[in-house]
Every structure is written in C-alpha cells, then in structure tokens.
Amino acid sequence: MDGIPRRLIALGGTSHLRGTMVDMTDEIVEDSKPSLPEHVRVRFCPSPTGTPHVGMVRTALFNWAEARHAKGTFVFRIEDTDAQRDSEESYNQILDALKWLNIDWDEGVEVGGPDGPYRQSERADIYKDVAAKLLEAGYAYESYSTPEEIEARNVAAGRPKAFGYDGYDRNLTEEQREQFRAEGRRPALRLRMPDEDVVFNDLIRGSIEFKAGSVPDYVIVRPNGDPLYTLTNPVDDALMRINVVLRGEDLLSSTPRQIVLYRYLMELGIAKEMPLFGHMPYVMGEGKKKLSKRDPESNLFLHRENGFIPEGLLNYLALLGWSIAPDRDVFSMEEMVEKFDVRDVKANPAHFDLDKAISINAEHVRMLEPQDFLNRSVPYLHRDGVVSADSWDALTDREREILTAAAPLVQPRVRLLGEVSGMAGSLLSAEGYIEPDVDARKQLKDSAAEVLDKAIVALEGVEETAWLTDDLHNLLNKALVEEGGYKPRLAFGPVRVAVSGRRVSPPLFESMEILGKDVTLARLRGLRDHL
C-alpha cells in the first residue's frame, strides 16, 4: 500500500464490508443512496433539556415512519448525561408529547427491551468499560492540554486562536504523562482520528466526504471521568444494534467522528456493523433562519394549546422535507407509513409556514367524526369557561344537546380546536346580551337600530313550534330585504352580531333555532339597547 492514499469508507447497503479500510480505487458510487438493511432498527434519542419542539418531533416522526414502513424496530432512549441541563420535567414532557402524537415505540424507556437501561444516566459503567478498552487498544489517548494551552499554541504557530486542538498529546511519552499527573492534572480521553478521508453515502444526501485532517482528535471523556455525547451516542447505537441513524443536518459535522469510533468499536467486537446515516434538512423559521427553540412556532405544546390535533400537526411536519405525492399535501399517518422511505427526503432546508400548518390542520379537523370532534373540543371549551366540565360525559344534558346540534355548523368553520369556543360559546350561553367583539361592532352601520327593530317585530309573532331554520330565514328575508329594502349584508349583519357577538359565526338561522325564541329576542333587544 506504499504511496497510495487511503480512505475510511462507510459503505452503504447491508454489505459485510461496511466500515472497512479500502483503497482509493475501491470508490463508492457518487451520489448513490444505499439499500436499507433487511431489518431496520432506528432510534429517537432526545436530551431532556426544555420544552419539546417541532424539530425534535419531526425527527421522531421520520424515524417512526421508517420503522413502521419497513416493519422494523423503533427504539426510544433518553440522552441525559448532562446533569446541569437535563431535567425530569423535560423528560416527562417528551413522553407526554409522543403519547399525545400517538408515536409509539417498540423498545426503550417505559416499555423496556433487551438492551436497557434506556436512560444514559443509568449506563455509566458501560461507557467507562468501553472507554477503558479504547484506551488500552490505543484508539484513545490521555490528553492533558487545557483550553488555554491549546489556544496559546495555536497563536504561537500562527494559527487562529480558536483553530482547535492540535494533536499535542497524541504521542506523549509515559514520562511526560507522569509529569502531568505529578502536577495534579487529570486527563481527558481523546479519540485518535486516522489520517484518512472519511467518506460515506448519506441516505438523504448521497456521497459525502470529509478530508483527512479536517476533524481533530476529539474528547470522549472529560477529565472528571464524565463521558461525552461523542462517546455515549455511538456506543449506545452499537450496543442497541441501531443500523439506520436518522438525525438533523446540524449533526452532520460529527458523522466522521462516529464512523471512526464505529470502526474501532467493530475491531473491539463491541459493534457488529457500521450504521447507515441520513441527515434531515434544517427546519427554517421567519427570515430564512434556522428555527430556534425560542421561536414561538417551534413550541410543540403551544400548538397543542392553540388547538392543533395530532393528525394535522404530524401531517404538516411530514411535509418538512418529504412529500407523499406531487400536488398532494393532506394524508393520514397510515398513508405516510405505507409510502415513506427516508431516501425520498429532500436535502434542502424546509420552511415552517404556520399558515399552511393551520390550513392542513383544518382539513383534518373537518375529517373527524362529529362525536370525535366534540370529544376533542370539550377540553378547550372548558378551558375557556364555556362549558361546565372537561369531558363529554361530564357535561350537562343541555350542553350535550346544544353541542350536538352545533357540531355540523362549527366543525367546517374552525381550523383549530381552540377556535371552537369562539364559534360555539354564544350558543351555549343563556345570556340575553352578548357584548360584540370590536370588529363585529365596527361593521354595524347607522341602519343597525332600525334593522333590529324590524327584526324584533317580525320575530315576536312566531310560535315556538315554528321557530325553525328555514322559516326564520324566509321571515327575516321578507321583512328586511324584500319589504325593508336592505341589502342582505346590512339586513342580516346586525342580527348576526346580536345573536353571536361576532362578525363571523356559525350559520345565523341555524344558530337562532338552537338558541330558541326567548334567548334570540333577548339578544336582539340587548344589542338594540346598547347601540
């Protein structure tokens, strides 16, 4: 092999050669995307640091969909070795999020499995043992350099101060190491990167190459003995037999490190094969900037509070990099599972468009069975003080009766479940006067008082048994439009505002039938008195 440059190539497909050293002549096919393993094992491994965000959910969704499509295994573990940032509250929120979204898993926290424990905070002995084996085999070495010393050496060598680690400790003699220990220093452990290009076939991006020397030796264990993500993540993947790693584009720069570590783990008999990698595109927010945890639209629970339903939100998140078919945006999770292949995910950044997300959610709201729609709406109605309880069965008979009648009127007109209260609240209220919304009052013209007077006179003579949608429509149309000479907008607008307090409401005459004669007339008189 003298004089022939070498590459460390993580080959695609299910070949037994994955992760081996090959000559430059043994090229992988440029821009090809490898075949998936016969039995796919993927994982979702968030850190419990803050509120779940849409980027995290998109990662979970794509892993789940790939596992379900391939009839493989979806592993859910928690990477919680950072005691400073991790919290039990965040852990519980992640569980809450996945359960709300109906993203289930086959092995992992809460459900168990053959490779537990599934929380990294409970696997310290495993990482300690692997680190010792890497050190003994020479794949890792003790590094005593402090950040200040590394910066000083970079400056002295004419490199940028923040250039990074320079490999100083790679070949320390035992005498030098003893001297550092005598000074009271405790070493970090660094992985020894080979002087080779690292090339792999990304499931989404095709052939990717990192030049030799572009990735410095990196720390896998801190001087205090704490293992870093750079060690724990690949070790867990290896021991849990993960063979497809789907993660965000922001982690792409760490992939050559993982490939090299995997090669060492394979040579030590800890890993069986090199996994395939697929790096999903960034999710962008406003101004074409990467969506941040601090951006409101990234907050998963804020979307839930506003009334997104799981079907609608997941459908939209699936579109952030993938599509089921040209010119088709709305689909079920069952349809996604049937069609999903991570190799079809686009590499280009995806933009989170809240308006489009809401529009897609509206489609899914309209597809709900009426009773399902009502069951899901009740918690929002209770939160907003519109009904007496937070579950359908606990409502009063009158509340259930009104909501059942209102569902066909409200369901097609709301986009989010959080909007149901505004649409149905007036129907559930027994108040004789509803203060109009600001925009509703603005639409009232000078003729509103006269219109209300004529409407009251026309409706007072209607018998309770004749208080029906079509009859009410015909009566008011005759009194206000045909005989009164008002245009429909000026005729029915004040009546709508009086009945609902809103500029946009459920259909007017159906609402009047639900409310009944006494409440409807009381509201017409109430608005008339407040003009």
| DSSP sequence for 81-100 | --TTT--HHHHHHHHHHHHH
The per-residue pLDDT for 26 is 37
What range does the domain containing 477 cover? 438-530
The per-residue pLDDT for 161 is 87
The per-residue pLDDT for 173 is 95
Q: Would you say residue 117 lies in a domain?
A: no
Paired residues of 53 in beta bridges = 299
Percentages helix, strand, coil for the chain, rounded to the nearest 5?
A: 50, 10, 40
Give dist(CA 520, CA 225) in Å, integer.
74
Residues 353 and 388 in one domain: no
Q: What 3-state class would DSSP assign to 57?
A: helix
The DSSP code sequence of 422-471 is HHHHHHH---S--PPPHHHHHT--TTHHHHHHHHHHHHHT--GGG--HHH
Instruction: Read off the tokens for 440.
Output: 């509703």
Q: Would you say residue 20 lies in a domain?
A: no
Q: Give the other-Cβ count within 10 Å of 134's Cβ.
A: 24
Cβ atoms 516, 432 nearer than 8 A: no
The CATH number assigned to the domain holding 55 equals 3.40.50.620
pLDDT tens digit sequence for 149-178: 999 999 999 999 888 899 999 999 999 999
Cβ atoms 197, 7 nearer than 8 A: yes
- Domain boundary at 393, 409, 428, which? 428
Residues 53 and 92 in one domain: yes
Residues 126 and 152 in one domain: yes
Q: Would you say residue 1 lies in a domain?
A: no
When divided into structural domains, the chain yields a total of 4
Q: Would you say residue 6 lies in a domain?
A: no
Paired residues of 278 in beta bridges = 246
Q: Report CA Rg, the chain.
A: 32
Amino acid identity, residue 446? D
Name the nearest CA neighbour of 264 among 135, 375, 370, 156: 135
Q: Would you say residue 485 lies in a domain?
A: yes
Residues 296 and 354 in one domain: yes
The per-residue pLDDT for 6 is 53
The per-residue pLDDT for 419 is 98
The DSSP code sequence of 192-248 is ---SSEEEEEETTTEEEEE-TTSS--EEEE-TTSPBPHHHHHHHHHHHTT--EEEEE
- Domain boundary at 229, 257, 280, which? 280
pLDDT tens digit sequence for 243-277: 999 999 999 999 999 999 999 999 999 999 999 99
The CATH number assigned to the domain holding 443 equals 1.10.10.350
Low-confidence ranges of the chain (pLDDT < 70): 1-32
Positions marked catalytic: 293
Residues 248 and 189 in one domain: yes
H or E stretch at 253: none
- Domain boundary at 388, 410, 428, which? 428
Residues 276 and 313 in one domain: no
Q: Would you say residue 11 lies in a domain?
A: no
Q: Would you say residue 492 lies in a domain?
A: yes
